[in-house]
């Protein structure tokens, strides 16, 4: 059991199996047992807000209010310097923004990213960001909020076949590899999600 009152079983406001594995293995060390919201019959929440933290908070509150359990949610995206932080919170549906749709296609998103950066000078700097929010209950006045940023550069042509989303175009100069060229375990240890999770664990330790 966790040392934090009320924590122990925590619902993850996502049904992504990869995220569940990644988060569960690290949170296990803090005595937290993560359960995917789908297992408890929680439907996906809307993500209508213009900031990562608002979307993560909305998802956490939604899962917590329906399950009466503490809830953990994340929101993440790619922020490109030459695009003033776009695609940002709209990363999942970047390509369909122009056409007012809601389609989530990695191939279309990457095509739009490359097209948008075609004429940009100094366009390479970018980072993935992940914001994690943990609420003890739906109206928690003190949600724990942790952020992680993974810095890299945008490539003009894809490299690698692992990962998902923008990974084939996200280059790590210090590793001389794109995120899609990294072994999945390596990516999971280095990524924006890993950085945010470590920060969250630190906050949990300080509160224990
Ligand atoms: P979500 O927060 O999991 O919904 O992610 C939002 C979007 O950000 C995804 O659909 C991807 O387009 C992008 N994204 C977030 N994290 C990653 C990553 O680790 N690799 C590639 N794309 C990512």
End-to-end CA distance of the chain: 12
Pocket flag, ligand 1, residue 75 (CB < 6 Å) = yes
**Predicted pLDDT of residue 61:** 97
- Which is catalytic among the residues 3, 28, 75, 106? 75
Give the neighbor-by-neighbor strand order of the sheet with 9-12.
33-36, 9-12, 71-80, 125-135, 144-154, 170-172, 177-178
Nearby residues of 139 by Cβ (< 8 Å), 6 or more positions away: 61
Does any domain span residue 45?
yes
Does any domain span residue 39?
yes
**Predicted pLDDT of residue 4:** 54
Domain that holds residue 193: 9-207
Does any domain span residue 94?
yes
Does any domain span residue 158?
yes
**Predicted pLDDT of residue 192:** 96
Using most ligand atoms within 8 A of CB, pick from 19, 36, 76 the residue to mutate for ligand 1: 76
- Cα(45)–Cα(42) distance, rounded to whole angstroms? 9
**Predicted pLDDT of residue 199:** 96
Does any domain span residue 146?
yes
**Predicted pLDDT of residue 96:** 86
**Predicted pLDDT of residue 207:** 86
Does any domain span residue 3?
no
| One pLDDT digit (tens) per residue for the chain, 208 residues | 344 544 789 999 998 888 888 888 888 877 899 999 999 999 999 889 999 999 999 999 999 999 999 999 999 999 999 999 999 999 999 998 766 556 678 999 999 999 999 887 777 899 999 999 999 999 999 999 999 999 999 999 999 999 999 999 999 999 999 999 999 989 989 999 999 999 999 998 898 8
**Predicted pLDDT of residue 100:** 58
Does any domain span residue 95?
yes
Number of domains in the chain: 1
Which CATH number is 188's domain given? Answer: 3.90.950.10
Does any domain span residue 4?
no
Q: Is position 74 annotated as part of the catalytic site?
A: no
Taking a C-beta distance cutoff of 8 angstroms, is the pair 108, 162 a contact?
no
């Amino acid at each position: 059991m966790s040392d934090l009152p009320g924590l122990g079983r925590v619902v993850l406001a996502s049904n992504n199996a990869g995220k569940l594995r990644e988060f569960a293995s690290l949170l296990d060390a803090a005595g937290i047992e993560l359960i995917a919201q789908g297992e408890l019959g929680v439907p996906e929440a809307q993500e209508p807000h213009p900031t990562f933290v608002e979307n993560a908070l909305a998802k956490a509150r939604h899962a917590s209010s329906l399950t009466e359990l503490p809830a953990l949610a994340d929101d993440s995206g790619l922020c490109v310097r030459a695009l003033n932080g776009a695609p940002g919170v709209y990363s999942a549906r970047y390509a369909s923004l122009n056409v007012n749709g809601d389609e989530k296609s990695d191939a279309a998103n990457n095509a739009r990213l490359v097209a948008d950066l075609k004429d940009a000078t100094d366009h390479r700097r970018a980072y993935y960001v992940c914001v994690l929010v943990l609420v003890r209950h739906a109206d928690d006045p003190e949600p724990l909020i942790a952020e992680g940023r993974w810095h890299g550069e945008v490539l003009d042509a894809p490299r690698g076949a692992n990962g998902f989303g923008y990974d084939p175009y996200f280059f790590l100069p210090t590793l001389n590899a794109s995120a899609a060229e990294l072994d999945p375990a390596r990516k999971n240890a280095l990524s924006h999600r890993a950085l945010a999770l470590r920060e969250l664990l630190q906050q949990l330790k300080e509160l224990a």
